[in-house]
Amino acid sequence: MAADPYAGKAARSFSTVLRLMKQFPEYIFLQTQPQLYDYIKQDYPEIYAEIAERVKEGRWEAGGAMWLEADCNLTSGESLVRQILYGTKFFREEFGAECKYLWLPDVFGYSWALPQILSKSGIDTFMTTKISWSQYNRMPHDTFRWRGIDGTEVLAHFITTPEGPESSAWYYTYNGLIEPFSVQGIWDQYRDKNLNRELLLSYGYGDGGGGVNREMLEMRRRLDEIPGVPNVKTGRADEYFERLQRTIESTDEYVHTWDGELYLEFHRGTYTSQAYNKRMNRKLELLYRESEWLQAMLAAEKGISPVIRLSSCMKVGKSFCAISSMILFLAHPSARYMRIPEQSMRKRFGLARKLPLWPRRV
């Protein structure tokens, strides 16, 4: 039995995926976030071994870049760098997978600094759906170049899958259904048909786990043969984004550029509640930065070994070392007001006390 409830939820979802892959050989599954893989590796090694086999076959895609799909507003730039550094390192070392895209469908806005961070991390494509949730202004394009503060550009693409036919929602979803309404809807809502004629539909039950079911996979087979709606093929996200990059590079059409942050006009309360939690998060980010700097100076000038190891790959049993535990606090912004603050703070103070700068800075 998993000690962490998220590990148990992941194990149930992944077991379902592996079972469906035996029944539907064409089924391809994408799972981001190495944190979940790490839970499974520790608590369910037999499931992890089967996942590794499916990754080798190309039917299970391990990608997305970040260790966790992180908040991009309150999080410091260095923390975002570490999310990508440790995430891509895990995929490379565990599965031999190189990730070139950031899969970040559901956090509440995206910093103007992100294109520069992505580019310097070897990531050339960014995907989200969340900006479509804005309350007043809709983004004018779904495929465009996103320019950062320093002028760096990455290709940005929005998945345009609509909510179900009974919904009055105006926004896109990454928890899509496989039915004529969504397959036609993703095409109808897409704003850049002059640039690109191939779209990516992310389907299954997310936001809590479960994923794809048998009915969805059966419906996918049938929709691919129905005249009058777009063809529906299974495929990998990395291959799709590679094709999209080539399409945009070769087009004669004008490709629009967004120069600025991707601001979400929604969920604003997540950044104004639990202020003490957020204050301590920033203090810990500063502590880690100064601790690393001092350790590097000591190693370079005095030959002194580090007092502590600040690598996410350094674990003792199930206890992550300091920097990895810190990364866990930077997840989906809703966690910043939904998590019990006392429990979160106890963990943060415990981390801070491991750092040599604790008495002076906190």
Which of 14-18, 296-300, 358-362 has the lowest average pLDDT? 358-362
Can 150 be counted among the known catalytic residues? no
Rounded to an integer, the average pLDDT of 34-47 is 96
Q: Locate CATH 3.20.110.10 in the chain.
A: 5-259
Q: How far apart are the C-alpha atoms of 103 and 105, rounded to whole Å?
A: 6
At 312, the pLDDT band (50, 70, 90 cuts) reads very low
Quick one: which of 27, 57, 59 has its CA closest to 218?
27
Provide the whole-model pTM. 0.88
Segment 91-105 mean pLDDT? 97
- Read off the pLDDT band of 25 (50, 70, 90): very high
294 pLDDT more than 90: no
| Higher pLDDT among residues 25 and 345, named by residue | 25
Q: pLDDT tens digit string along 237-249?
A: 999 999 999 999 9
Task: Reply yes or no on whether the pLDDT at 114 is more than 70.
Answer: yes
Q: How confident is the model at residue 302 (pLDDT cuts 50, 70, 90)?
A: confident
Question: Which CATH code for domain 5-259?
Answer: 3.20.110.10
Q: Which of 106, 150, 192, 207 is catalytic?
A: 106
pLDDT above 80 for 289: yes
Q: What is the pLDDT of residue 350?
A: 60
| DSSP structure string for 116-169 | HHHHHTT--EEEESGGGG-SS---S-SEEEEE-TTS-EEEEEE---B--TT---
Tell me the percentage of the chain whose pLDDT exceeds 70.
Answer: 83
β partners of residue 145: 155, 257
pLDDT in tens, 251-273: 999 999 999 999 999 998 888 88
